[in-house]
Each structure stands twice: as structure tokens, then as C-alpha cells.
Amino acid sequence: MASSFLGYCRQMLTDMGTAQRESLVSLTCLEVQELENIFALLLMGSFIGLPAPPTFLSVELLPFMEREMRILHQRAEDAHDMLAEIMGTLGID
Amino acid sequence: MRIIFFTGKGGVGKSTIAAAAAWQLAQQRRVLIVSLDPAHNLGDIFNVTLKNKRKRFSENLYLQEVDLRQMARAYLEKETNVLSDTYSYLKALNLDHYFSVLKYSPGIEEYALLTSIERAIREETDFDYLLFDTPPTGLTLRFLALPQVTVTWIERLTAIRRQILEKRYTIQKIRRPLKTGEEKRELRLSYDEKDDDILNRLLVLQENYGKLTAVLQGATCGIVLVFNPDLLSLRESERLIEGLGDLKLPLRLLVQNKVTEENRTIADQVAGALQQASGHKGPSRYVALNQDIALKGASLYNISEDLRSDLEF
């Protein structure tokens, strides 16, 4: 009983620690996501009329860009509700 | 190995001068002359059929015409096949052939040109001279600029990519490290530069284009500008010289083709203007207009002017 209680306490503390860490990195995570979004936009901007890099550069990197393209897509979907996006980022309910 | 590009406005006689120079150089050295102009004349000049295959014309002289359209097609076919493999389920619906529209992508011809130059420089190391007969000015400048433009793009993209990886690393550090056998609870992305496919690909491309730029700007490479004694040719040549200067490509020789007794005064003026524009970097040569265009054994087009000595830089 005692050991499982201690284990329970330890688990709780660890989880609290993890939660703290997660809230710390959340902003950096968002920054990374935005950077990846920019990266994809630069490479594939021709879809929306941005000046494109040499065509073959996009073609060469295309096979590795799955994650970036998902993010690009997600960002385009969320774009119409920026306010909610910012509120979510800042943790305002 | 020396690499020489013959450039100039369309119709000034680039192919003729290149062929004559190749023939003269081949008297002593091993020479490969490659025609990159989509309107190929090299075969006509030497009176042989080349059809995208290399041919040995004399002991030391090899001829080659590059079919750009076919190269572009081959490259895109490869990419299209990769796409079709990834989206292989489309085959079931018989929709995969719609990817074939990719072959109309703009910019692919320059890429094909650059690839063929890069391949020739890399593979043909047993020749003393590699001569390129280029397409008219516009396309030539665009593809000569391409390595540098691409390197700039790659540099910017690499910087962004490195920043992404750095931030991923920070995230990884703040989150506690995984114990052995522990399952990841959230998505953990690679942050090591060695593990990132995109960065690796970018670095490989950067190295390739960096090498090519270094070769093109180096001491073994030279540009020969061919022009005629007329105003249009002068203006376009001035623009070409300016473009070459911007790209830091070394101009070695100015060749004025189709000079006769009648247009000698104009020829002097044009040559003077171009010498000034180029900052007197290379010597200027006149080649006389010769009506006799038949190939007579060694004396190709009867061009008797010495082009060889100027090209042995």
C-alpha cells in the first residue's frame, strides 16, 4: 500500500513536471511550426503567386516535404480564424 | 582541362567560330565540342549526322550535340515516375497519366542545359579542351546565372532549416529525455542535422552547385564572345559583357566575325567599343567574311585566322 502510494505521488510529481515543461515549450513549438510553414511557403509559393525558386529545387525537395505540406495545409485552414488561434496560443480560455 | 563557351547573338557565327577553333586546337590537343543550341548546326558544319550521339571526327576531335528537349523529357519522366509510384492507387482509376502535364513545367530547359554542362565537366576529364557552342544570348545568360541563383536560394533555405532544427533541439532539451523502452507520448521530431533529409539534400545540392560555380569562375574556364560589325550585335554584346561581369565569369576573347574591306571602319568602332566595355580583358580578333562555305579538308570554312593561340590560357 505504502509503496504504491509513494509510486502514485512520484507519478504525480513527474506528470506535473512534464506539464510544466510542455507549457514552457508550447510557444517554441508554435515558432517551429511557423518556421516550417514559411519554409514550405518559400519552396511552393508558386501555388499562391509568390515568386518561386528554380523549379527543380522544389521538385528535388518535394519527396521529403510531407510534414511541411501538412502544416501548410493546416495553416491555410486555420487562417480564417486568427483570433482563436492567438487565444489558443496564449492559453486564454 | 580548359572549358570554353562560345556566346553571342543569334546568327553571328558562334557555331562556325567554335568549330574552327575546335579544329585548330585539335591539331595538337584532344578536343570535345558540344553543341547546346536547340537549333543544331554542328553536324551541318562538319557534314556528319550526330543525332545526340558522340562522334569521332578526327584523331583528336570529338563532336556531340545535346538534345535539350529529350534531356528535359527524361528528367521529368523520372520525377513523374516517382510521383506515380507514390500515388500508385491512381493507376487503379487510370488517372496517373495526368501527371504527364509536368513536362510543360517552365525552367526545365535551363536545368537540362546546366545538367548537361555539369555532366560533361565531371565526366569528360580525358580531354584537353571542352568547347561549348551555346544557344543565343538570353538563354545562355539565364543558364550561366542559374548555379549562382540556385546557390543563393539554397543558402537561404539551409539557414531556415538550421533554425528549425535548432528550435527542435531546444524543445527536446526542455522536455525530459525518454527512458529506455519508454513510448513517446508526443511527436518527437529529428533535430540532429545528420537525420534531417531535407537539410542533407540541400547540402548535397549546395556542394554540387558550389563546385560548378567555382569551375565556371575559375582559371580553367573562359568565355569567347562572337559578334558582327553591326549595331544590333554591338548592343547585345554589350549587354552580354555586362551580364558576364555581374556573374564574375571570365571573358577571354572577342571574335569579330564577317569582317570585310567595306565594313572595316565599323568593325574597328565596334571592336573598340566592346574592348572598352569589357575593360580590355581579352584580345580582339577579326575573322574575314568568307563566301566559300564548303568544307575543304582541314581548312574549315577557310578560316585561316589563328584562334588557337588566344585560347591557350
For residue B276, name the pLDDT band (cuts at 50, 70, 90).
confident
Q: Does B176 touch chain A (CB under 8 A)?
A: yes
pLDDT of residue B89: 65
Cβ contact B164–A29 (<8 Å):
no
> Do the Cβ atoms of B274 and B234 come closer than 8 Å?
yes
Mean pLDDT of B39-47: 80
pLDDT digits (tens, 9 = 90+) for B117-137: 888 888 888 899 999 998 877
Q: How far apart are CA A73 and CA A88, in angstroms?
A: 19
Instruction: Tell me if residue B51 falls in helix, strand or coil.
Output: coil
Instruction: Tell me if residue B114 falls in helix, strand or coil.
Output: helix
* Least confident interval from A62-71, B95-104, B208-217, B233-242: B95-104
Q: Does the pLDDT at position B182 exceed 80?
A: no
Q: Number of A:B CB contacts under 8 A?
A: 75
How many H-runs (helices) and E-runs (strands) does chain B carry? 10, 8
Q: Strands (DSSP E) along chain B, which ranges?
A: 2-7, 31-35, 55-56, 61-65, 129-133, 221-227, 251-259, 284-288
pLDDT of residue B183: 65
Q: Evaluate the CA torsion angle B269, B272, B276, B282 in order and state its sign.
A: positive
pLDDT of residue B130: 93
Q: Which of B171, B167, B163 is nearest to A21 (CA)?
A: B171
pTM: 0.73
Q: How far apart are CA B297 and CA A68, in angstroms?
A: 62
C-beta neighbour count of A92 within 10 angstroms: 7
**What is the pLDDT of chain B when averaged over all its residues?**
80
* Residue B4 CB contacts under 8 Å (≥ 6 apart), including other chains: B21, B129, B130, B131, B132, B221, B222, B223, B224, B252, B311
> Do the Cβ atoms of B249 and B277 come closer than 8 Å?
no
Q: Which of A21, A29, A42 sits opposite B157 (nearest CB)?
A: A42
pLDDT digits (tens, 9 = 90+) for B232-252: 989 999 998 998 888 888 888
> What ipTM does the predicted assembly reach?
0.80
Nearest residue in B to A57, CA atom: B150
Q: Does the pLDDT at position B87 exceed 80?
A: no
Q: Does the pLDDT at position B151 exceed 90?
A: no
Q: Which of B105, B108, B164 sits opposite A36 (nearest CB)?
A: B164
pLDDT of residue B246: 87
Question: B64: phi > 0 → left, psi -120 to 50 → alpha, else beta; which?
Answer: beta
C-beta neighbour count of A28 within 10 angstroms: 14
